[in-house]
Amino acid sequence: MGHLRQTLLGNFLLASMLSLSDELRLQFEAVGDMPNDEHRIVRALLDGMIVKFQTKQLLGGLSI
């Protein structure tokens, strides 16, 4: 468990020093090492978040 904690702490510290685009690039590289079924899950999560964001933008000016 010590190695995992050390890895997570290292990742957190590295992420705090990186720009957002660098951090996302590293995350996508990590996803690239995952099996295909994990790729589909990550893609579905991203698609859902993008649709949610776009919907908020479209409906933001509407009063319902």
Mean pLDDT of each 10-residue bin along the chain, 64 residues long: 61 67 83 92 94 91 62
Both 18 and 4 in a single domain? yes
Q: Give CA angle at 14 (42, 28), nearest 5°.
A: 20
Cα 21 off chain centre by: 11
Question: How many domains does the chain fold into?
Answer: 2
Both 41 and 28 in a single domain? no
- Taking the C-alpha atoms of residue 6 and residue 8, their distance in angstroms, rounded to an integer, is 5
Both 47 and 60 in a single domain? yes
Both 26 and 43 in a single domain? no
Both 45 and 18 in a single domain? no
pTM of the model: 0.59
Residue 38: what pLDDT? 94
List the structure tokens of 14: 């590295």
List the structure tokens of 63: 């009063």
> Is the separation of the CB atoms in 16 and 9 below 8 Å?
no
Provide the domain limits for residue 9: 1-33
